[in-house]
Structures are given as structure tokens and as C-alpha cells.
Amino acid sequence: MIRLPSSARPPAREQLSDRGDGARTGPDGPAGEDETTLAAAPIWRVHIPTVEESCVRVRCRQAAGSGPWPLTTALVELARLGVRPTERFRSLGTGRGRPLIHSQEAEWHGLAVHLESLVTSVGEVVEAALALPGMDEVVPWVDEDSWWELVDAFAAAVDAAHGALVDGEPVDLTPPGAEVGWRRRIGDHLGLLLPAETEVAWGGIGMLYTTLPSSGLAVILR
């Protein structure tokens, strides 16, 4: 599970003073006049039951060896949403061109963020991942709209063709050759990210939850 050091993590919501308007502040912040007022919890309309990590892993359209490093572009876009690097980036490669592995630790609303890209399939395919802690840690601090905005910005920045919402399990990002392949894959993960124009008869095994506007990917939840 991805965790920040205890000194860098936000205090639990019950440890924060109620400001009186539903928000809570730290020990130095103003206390609410009505101590019985409960903090307004971030709004979520869906339960995503990740435990180890809340990870979106995608296959990028850009061929390996061409264009800018995916994470470099992603960090610029995610910075607009408040994502800040906490360490120097790490990379492994030949010393020329795009690295085979590129990773970056960051922080968003007090939550640890891990970003990575890697070249797979004999140097031909680029995959990228955005990982946060399990949803029990995410939900108290950000609302659902902010979460999907983060996912959308990441997917658009790395030019994602499709991907999956995973909880630490391995994922095969090779495009299936037929509709039945997508139906099998939804059974392996909590959700899929597919081009909005993809037509699949999900039956009772999956459902279209939302479409991400910037990346053009449809979110299919199991």
C-alpha cells in the first residue's frame, strides 16, 4: 500500500477542529461555534473497493522511442490539479532517448501518488500508471469528481488508448481481438477504460459508469 510518512500525512478527520461550516481545520485553526456540527464528507456516488492501491494502468498510443517522456507531460498537467513531486524522478534506460522505466513519487491532497511509465513488448509498447492508496484512504480527503478529473488528466496527458482500474494485480493491456475479450477482461479487474466509441454488450458483468471528457475514455465498472 502506498503511504506517506506519518509526519507528512494529514491528521484524521476526527482529530480536526470543526470550523462551523462543515469544513475542519488543524489544531491552530479556528474552532467551530457548534461543537456538534459534523464535518461534511466528500461526496462519492460509487464505491471502488481497492485495498492495496487505487491504480489506473494504461497503454499509450505513442510508439516507444518517439515523442516526449509520458510522465514529463503528465506531471505538467497534474500540477494544475495540485499534484507535487516529493522526490527526484528515477529512470532506467540506455542513456539515449526515452527510458525503459521512469517513475516519480508525488503528493496530492496529502495522499501519496506514484507515477510510472515503462516500455514493454520487446521495446514496442509504452504503458503508464497512476497509483494512490486504497480507497479507504482516498475517500475521506477528495471527492469523486476530483478523483475522476485526476484520472482523466493523467490519461489524456499520456495519450492513453485504453486501460484498467486495478488493485495491485497484474494487467494485460494487449488489445483483445474481439468483443468477448473485453468481457473476459472486465472479470479480471474492478474496471476498464475504453475508447468511448467501443461497443460491447456487457450484460450483467459490467456497466458504463461515466465518460472522461479530456481523454475520451469510457469508464466501465464491474
**Domains in the chain: boundaries:** 15-44, 54-221
Residue type at position 199: E
How far apart, in Å, do the first and last CA atoms of the chain sit?
A: 22
Distance CA 222, CA 190 (A): 6
What is the predicted pLDDT for the residue at 123? 67
Q: What is the pLDDT along the chain (222 residues), one digit of tens a residue?
A: 333 444 444 444 444 444 444 444 443 443 343 433 345 778 999 999 999 999 999 999 987 666 677 888 999 999 999 999 999 988 786 666 666 888 999 999 999 999 999 888 666 788 999 999 999 999 999 999 999 999 999 999 999 999 999 999 989 998 887 888 999 999 899 999 999 999 999 988 999 999 999 999 999 999
What is the predicted pLDDT for the residue at 68? 74
What is the predicted pLDDT for the residue at 152? 98
What is the predicted pLDDT for the residue at 206? 93
Distance CA 163, CA 114 (A): 17
User: How many residues can be counted in the chain?
Assistant: 222
Q: Considering only CA atoms, which of 134, 97, 104 is closest in space to residue 119?
A: 97
Which residue's entry shows cell 499509450? 60
What is the predicted pLDDT for the residue at 95? 61
**Helices assigned H by DSSP within the chain:** 70-79, 135-138, 144-157, 179-186
Q: Radius of gyration over alpha carbons of the chain, in Å?
A: 19
